[in-house]
Amino acid sequence: MKVHAVSTGTVAVHERQREGRGPGPLRPVNTLLDRRWTDPLPIHVWAIEHPEGLIVVDTGETARVAEPGYLPRWHPYFRLGVREWVEEGEEAGPALRRLGLDPADVRWVVMTHLHTDHAGGLAHFPESEILVSRDELKAASGAMGKLRGFLPHRWPEWFQPREVVFGERAFGPFPRSISLTEAGDVHLVATPGHTPGHLSVVVEEDDVALFFAGDVSYTEELMLRGAVDGVAPDAAAAAQSLGRVRELARTRPTVYLPTHDPAAGERLADRVVVSAA
Ligand SMILES: [Zn+2]
């Protein structure tokens, strides 16, 4: 299966967002007060050329973030916590076209979660079936969604995703999952923590699992250490999700692919599996 990594521009956050510090409610405060910034990190979008149709995981960010007022300045996170650089040509639509893929041919767009750097490119996919977990959609919608740092007022007018409701079907160490394809080789697994309805996508390719992790962690190394990020509203759930990824990596060869990991593109290209989980 051909799988592509493209980055729709870059994002920098505080170091303590990648690895949080302090107890519960203090973690996001510590994150915002941190003076250290990460280098500009990729904002990966993944395109999977599956026999049943083209699958895209997340949509990246939009160049509109540079417009004054696009990101809500009243929100402390957007004022203090994040910097983004996106050119129009880097958005998901043009990026896919450069690979010879037509966004109109995308059958499924699977959203790991609805933060703006993952949902900013939704406008490129009006023809596709978009999947979001029901818990995520609920958390991200309305005034409460805005307070939580989502931008529901920026979603396209036509945005009406298929809601993913997880039953009790397990996939390996993940107790809640659904299968996306008829072939049963693409799984959406619930990985809550970073956001309430965060999910990850697992593609089984022979005996290797390609694990599209969204923001379960920012790098592979942080996942291996079980380090919870500094913005997760539920640190315990985040730690549990990280533990389940490690458990999966122990039981089968797993290529771990977080959205903002600068090394993820290369690991995908060479199918470098997690070691020492
Ligand atoms: Zn996120």
- Give residue 16's pLDDT: 94
pLDDT band at residue 38 using 50, 70 and 90 as cut-offs: very high
Cα 79 to middle of ligand 1, angstroms: 16
pLDDT, tens digit, for every residue of 163-222? Answer: 999 989 999 999 999 999 999 999 999 999 999 999 999 999 999 999 999 999 999 999
- Give residue 222's pLDDT: 97
Lowest mean pLDDT among 24-38, 146-160, 170-184: 24-38
Q: Is pLDDT at 276 greater than 90 in this prediction?
A: no
Q: Is pLDDT at 19 greater than 90 in this prediction?
A: yes
pLDDT band at residue 270 using 50, 70 and 90 as cut-offs: very high
56 CB-contact burial (10 Å; exposed 0-12 / middle 13-18 / buried 19+): buried
Cα 210 to middle of ligand 1, angstroms: 20
Cα 113 to middle of ligand 1, angstroms: 7
Cα 140 to middle of ligand 1, angstroms: 12
Cα 215 to middle of ligand 1, angstroms: 5
- Give residue 167's pLDDT: 87
pLDDT, tens digit, for every residue of 77-108? Answer: 999 999 999 999 999 999 999 999 999 999 99
Cα 118 to middle of ligand 1, angstroms: 7
Alpha carbon distance 248, 267 (integer Å): 17
Half-sphere exposure (Cβ direction) of 37: Cα atoms closer than 13 Å: 11
Q: Is pLDDT at 145 greater than 90 in this prediction?
A: yes
Cα 232 to middle of ligand 1, angstroms: 9
Cα 217 to middle of ligand 1, angstroms: 9
Cα 34 to middle of ligand 1, angstroms: 18
- Give residue 117's pLDDT: 98
Percent of the chain with pLDDT over 90: 95
- Give residue 24's pLDDT: 82
Distances (CA, A) of 81 to 78, 135, 176: 6, 25, 32
Cα 90 to middle of ligand 1, angstroms: 19
Q: Is pLDDT at 235 greater than 80 in this prediction?
A: yes
pLDDT band at residue 25 using 50, 70 and 90 as cut-offs: confident
Cα 44 to middle of ligand 1, angstroms: 12
Cα 259 to middle of ligand 1, angstroms: 9
Average pLDDT, the chain: 96
Cα 228 to middle of ligand 1, angstroms: 13
pLDDT, tens digit, for every residue of 47-80? Answer: 999 999 999 999 999 999 999 999 999 999 999 9
Cα 114 to middle of ligand 1, angstroms: 7
Cα 52 to middle of ligand 1, angstroms: 28
Query: Per residue, what are the HEC states of the chain?
Result: CEEEEEEEEEEEEEHHHHCCCCCCCHHHHHHHHCCCECCCEEEEEEEEEECCEEEEECCCCCHHHHCCCCCCCCCHHHHHHEEEECCHHHCHHHHHHHCCCCHHHEEEEECCCCCHHHHCCHHHCCCCEEEEEHHHHHHHCHHHHHHCCCCHHHCCCCCCCEEECCCCCCECCECCEEECCCCCCEEEEECCCCCCCCEEEEEEECCEEEEEEECCCCCHHHHHHCCCCCCCCCHHHHHHHHHHHHHHHHHCCEEEEECCCCCHHHHHHHCCCCCCC
Q: Is pLDDT at 277 greater than 80 in this prediction?
A: no
Average pLDDT score over residue span 7-34: 92
Cα 119 to middle of ligand 1, angstroms: 10
Residues with CB under 5 A from ligand 1 (ion): 115, 215
